[in-house]
Amino acid sequence: MKIEDVTSTTKAQRVAAHTHVKGLGLDEDGKAKQSAAGLVGQLNAREAAGLVVDLIKMKKLAGRAVLLAGPPGSGKTAIALAISHELGTKVPFCPMVGSEVYSSEVKKTEVLMENFRRAIGLRIKEVKEVYEGEVMELTPFEGDNPVGYAKAIQHVEVSLKTAKGVKKLKLDPTIYESIQKERVSVGDVIYIESNTGSVRRMGRCDVYATEFDLEAEEYVPLPKGDVHKKKEVVQDVTLHDLDVANARPQGGNDIVAMLGAMTKPKKTEITEKLRREIDKMVDRYIDQGIAELVPGVLFIDEIQMLDLECFTYLHRALESQISPIVVLASNRGTCEVRGTDGIQSPHGLPMDLLNRLLIIRTDPYNREETAQIIQIRADIEGAKLEEAGLEALTEIGVSSSLRYAVQLITPAKLHSRVSGLDALGPESVDTMRTLFLDARSSARILTEHSNAYMK
């Protein structure tokens, strides 16, 4: 085998504000480590978030709401994303920002409703009758086409092999189409559902695993048992997936048709009536034990952007029978609730909603933690910091804001590179500081030169 000058295909990844956050960084007892998984300090909030994750996994928290409250830049959004990392891919996590509800085309409550349903998962377990095995033979038989001159496929013969034996199947031409779509060839392990005829390719049989040195193929063992058998198939979907898939109902309304419709993209309005239908069907499947509800997380950042109408709706949605866990974040102190005439309330949330929240507080960072966060960010943005450079950035982080300090890293890195330095020093930080102002200095300039600006 020879690998000739293979250029790396890893993408130059865009660095977003929270790329360094990989989880909550807790140990087995749920205690937060000082610095782990990209998160630094904020121990209480992280431990509380860890408990929330546990409760969500135990399904003990549905219909509850948690508020992350703290000053700007204290890591609320970062902790919420860490929660989503901890939950893994099986539990739905739907992030949104409060201001998303304002659209001229869609009603505010409609946006909220959609996101609520994105956060409720359904795990569907179905026992299906299938033919499963390694493909030993795949022969289409052609015959005369009654219309036109071209030959048409009359039937297909497929031999499937398992550890127990081989079975030859004669299949309908429509199944041949799905076999082609899945790119099945001899030596693959597949299963064919006997009542729908849909074909799934599971991978290549591991007998062939040494065929090539390097390839992008998944190998699966030769299936055990009979070729014709009952198999449990598990699928994770959200209620919103089901809504979208059924926005234009077509044929049968059992769960198979429902899932089949999901793969076809289309855009039609989802009506209240449709949602009720879906809910009814879901209820039925839950009663029959085919499906299981998986309440996920709806994360609404910048919650203070919502207005009274939305808050009322939120309240109602939380009371409903199937509801996800709602995590909110706000950086406001006591301020006016939007959409009221001047009602003041803590965090900008109405009192009745506040009363049913669990509140997790985030605190401002001390100097040491600020330095650690800046160091982590610098590493991820590929900037090499001189000790004095880190010192200068930390000073800015403490005296101005963490976010401002973090945002200066990349421009300062460019400046140091242009000046031919190999590490980022205090000069670059100072230059950038004069070029890009933070909110506070900008506000000071405005007041100092107030008569130079238009009123």
Choice between 78 and 393, CB closer to Mg ion: 78
Number of residues that bind ligand ATP (CB under 6 A): 22
Minimal distance, residue 389 CB to ligand ATP, in Å: 18
Q: Are 374 and 400 in contact (CB under 8 A)?
A: no
Quick one: what does residue 223 bind among ligand ATP, Mg ion, none, with the CB cut-off 5 to 8 Å set by partner type? none
The pair of three-digit structure tokens given for residue 48, joined into one six-digit string: 């509380």
**Residue count, binding to Mg ion (CB under 5 A):** 1
The item of Mg ion, ligand ATP, none sharing an interface with residue 75, based on CB under 5 to 8 Å by kind, is ligand ATP
Phi then psi for residue 52, to 5 deg, are: -60, -45
Report helix, strand or coil for 413: helix
What is the smallest separation between the CB atom of 81 and ligand ATP, expressed in angstroms?
A: 8
Backbone φ and ψ for 193, nearest 5 degrees, come out as: -75, 130
Among the listed residues 274, 245, 275, 249, the one whose alpha carbon sits nearest the alpha carbon of residue 259: 245
Angle at the Cα of 186 from the Cα atoms of 184 and 190, rounded to 5 degrees: 50
Q: Under the criterion CB under 5 A, does residue 330 sit at the interface with Mg ion?
A: no
Pick one of Mg ion, ligand ATP, none as the site partner of residue 233 (Cβ within 5 to 8 A by kind): none
In the complex, the smallest distance separating the C-beta of residue 399 from ligand ATP, rounded to whole angstroms, is: 16
Alpha carbon 109 to chain centroid, angstroms: 22
Scanning 73-81, 234-242, 417-425, 430-438 for contacts with ligand ATP by CB under 6 A, the matching segment is: 73-81
- Residue closer to ligand ATP by CB (options 22, 228) is 22
| Minimal distance, residue 438 CB to Mg ion, in Å | 17
- Of 282 and 373, the one with the shorter C-beta distance to ligand ATP is 373
Chain residue whose CB lies nearest ligand ATP: 75
Q: Are 24 and 86 in contact (CB under 8 A)?
A: yes
- Residue 305's contacts (CB-CB under 8 Å, 6 or more residues apart) are 97, 98, 99, 101, 338
Smallest distance from the beta carbon of 90 to Mg ion, in angstroms? 26
Distance CA 229, CA 226 (A): 6
Per-residue x/- track, 14-53, ligand ATP (CB under 6 A): ---xx--x----------------xxxxx-----------
Residue 281 neighbours by CB under 8 Å, 6+ apart: 253, 255, 258
| 401 is a contact residue toward Mg ion (CB under 5 A) | no
Among candidate residues 89, 22, 79, 87, the one with its CA nearest the CA of residue 48: 79
Tokens found for residue 447? 């007041």
Q: Considering only residues 347-376, where is the footprint of ligand ATP by CB under 6 A?
A: 373, 376
- In Å, how far are 20, 38, 305 from 96, measured between CA atoms? 20, 22, 12
Q: Least Å distance between CB 373 and ligand ATP?
A: 4
Q: How far is the CB of 103 from ligand ATP (least distance, A)?
A: 21
Residue 77 found at the interface with Mg ion (CB under 5 A): yes
Return the residue of 331, 370, 394, 428 that touches ligand ATP, per CB under 6 A.
Answer: 331
Nearer to Mg ion, 77 or 84 (CB): 77
Phi, psi dihedrals of residue 75, rounded to the nearest 5°: 95, 20
Place of tokens 């109405």: 350
- Residue ranges binding ligand ATP (CB under 6 A): 17-18, 21, 38-42, 70, 72-78, 331, 373, 376, 402-403, 406
- Residue ranges binding Mg ion (CB under 5 A): 77
